[in-house]
Structure 1
């Protein structure tokens, strides 16, 4: 009698939907690891419970640890009224300065 491989059993569980979910979860973890440079994890737990008539109830649980990108922070200052502002309210401003926008002409390639 030949043994049925784990891969064959895996594709039979929940009529193949477990295999599909594992495939999607693995791809999600791999892509996040590549994007963030951090470690991820995919864990499959299979529980087997014998029944009274010789049947086996197979239950599964998929857990993933998907790494996330590091979020940046903001630096702000509080005004005397308690409002937040992106510029230091104590900093003096220079009068007569103007913002110069981009020119409409195309840039030259060097």
Structure 2
């Protein structure tokens, strides 16, 4: 008798749930790497021990997913002499900008020659 493929055994653990869950994790990993780059890993761990009677084996399976980290979020801030960080550069003069109200008329069309 030849050796059976391990996937045959994986299909029998928890009625195929381990294999289904691992497949979903793999798809999630592929999407995460496609979006963010980086590398990830899926680990499928099988524990086998002899049952107390009858010559049976107890096989327990678990899969874990390690996705690549999300891209870090950042902000550009400026340091003050006191050691604080603020959004506006404290060394630059503030401009007194004001909003100009416009009429609600549509723009006129330009005529071409």
State the TM-score, normalized to the length of structure 1: 0.72
Q: In structure 1, list runs of 5 or more residues that go unmatched.
A: 106-110
- Number of aligned residue pairs: 101
The answer to whether the Cα contact below 8 Å between 2:18 and 2:62 also exists between their aligned partners in 1 is: no
Tell me which residue corresponds to 2:111: none
Is 2:38 the counterpart of 1:38? Answer: yes
CA root-mean-square deviation = 2.7
Tell me which residue corresponds to 2:26: 26
Tell me which residue corresponds to 1:71: 72
Alignment deviations for residues 56-110 of structure 1 (CA, whole Å, 9 cap, x no partner): 1111121221013321321223557876431022321234x4568xxx76xxxxx
Looking at structure 2, the residues matched to 4 and 55 of structure 1 have their Cα atoms a distance apart, in angstroms, of 17
Decide which structure has the larger Cα Rg and report it.
2
Looking at structure 2, the residues matched to 99 and 89 of structure 1 have their Cα atoms a distance apart, in angstroms, of 23
Counterparts in 2 of 1:9-20, with a 5 A limit? 9-20=9-20
Is 2:20 the counterpart of 1:6? Answer: no
Moved more, 6-15 or 18-27: 6-15
Counterparts in 2 of 1:54-93, with a 5 A limit? 54-77=55-78, 84-93=85-94
Looking at structure 2, the residues matched to 99 and 42 of structure 1 have their Cα atoms a distance apart, in angstroms, of 55
Alignment deviations for residues 25-50 of structure 1 (CA, whole Å, 9 cap, x no partner): 10011111111221111111101011
